[in-house]
Amino acid sequence: MSVGSAILVTGGAGYIGSHVVLALLDAGLPVVVLDDLSTGSTAAIPQGVPLVRGSTGDVALVRAALRRYRVEAVVHLAASLVVPDSMRDPTRYWRNNVANTLALAEACVAEGVSRLVFSSTAAVYGIPDRLPVDETAPCRPINPYGASKLAAEQLLQDTAAAHGLAVVALRYFNVAGADPAGRAGQRTLGATHLIKVACEAALGQRQVVAVYGEDYDTPDGTGVRDYIHVTDLARAHVEALRHLAMGGAGAVLNCGYGHGHSVRAVLRAVEQAAGVVLPVLAASRRPGDPPAIVAAAGRIRALLAWRPAFDDLDRIVADALAWERRMLAATGGMQRTLSA
């Protein structure tokens, strides 16, 4: 990084974005957040971090921010990301995840930004032929969310080839947990992340935890996912930026631990951590959900100086539960109760 320059984090007021901002600050790197606050919160942005409020699709706004803060690199997390929502409203996902990414790429090229880390997803793989799935596996997304992210990856690769924008695409598996120091966590109302939903139910904030599908071809019939602690994921962005700053080539990297946990196993972990029996409701499979998805996680360790520090389901659950308790205490125990 040059003196007086900064890293722009789009979506930095959101769940993952706020943890990435903290990881960058912890690494001594200056940060600027760009967020339209449609799902993010100003409370998630650390004091002293500038906020540019607006959309990544606003090229004039983005270019002005890149110039004003002398941005050298961008971490692009702003996106729509709920699979069932993408099935109901695919055009919104293509607009936000693809059209707005194109606008951001155009702004970066115009302003001479040479490095970008992109928030992608394991949903690009669809239903893999074999597990764990590595980065060379065919990409056959089964929902508009995954399809839109794959298209965004491609347009960034094309931009990189034509204009020298070095890009690392991080394909997230299931992100969960909260900052171990309690500085950040999942704030989104009505979030669909299983561990957050289960923790909220354990604290009486949800009436029920729905289990979507109990007849998958998995050991206990419920979906299997590779859960990664959000703080480990955030640190991967820092290492990806360092890789690019040192002249490293662009890459596509899975962000997971390489082993999965079923929905039932997650619920048992939350019950054990909270000392309660969760109210569970069996529900039908959701369209767009694969039976199982687990990362082959060797490439990220080989390419980046990244080693996970929180590869433990019980630790992920404990940090998530501590965050929910902190949020509940901050409101005097008056948070809402959701139906599912």
Tens of pLDDT, residues 284-296: 999 889 999 999 9
Asked whether the predicted pLDDT for residue 335 surpasses 70, the reply is no
For residue 188, the model assigns a pLDDT of 86
In the chain, the number of structural domains is 1
First to last CA, the chain: 45
Tens of pLDDT, residues 212-252: 999 999 999 999 999 999 999 999 999 999 999 999 999 99
Q: Is residue 275 part of a domain?
A: no
Domain that holds residue 146: 6-176+228-255
pTM for the whole structure: 0.95
CB 218 within 8 A of CB 225: no
Quote the Cα angle for 200-286-169, to 5°. 80
Q: Is residue 303 part of a domain?
A: no
167 vs 108: CA distance, rounded Å: 12
Report DSSP letters for 311-334, one per residue.
--HHHHHHHHHHHHHHHHHHTTT-
> Token pair of 201, please?
């139910």
261 vs 245: CA distance, rounded Å: 35
CATH of the domain at 168: 3.40.50.720
Catalytic (active-site) positions? 145
Q: Is residue 329 part of a domain?
A: no
Q: Is residue 141 part of a domain?
A: yes
Tens of pLDDT, residues 193-213: 999 999 999 999 999 999 999
Tens of pLDDT, residues 3-40: 458 999 999 999 999 999 999 999 999 999 999 999 99
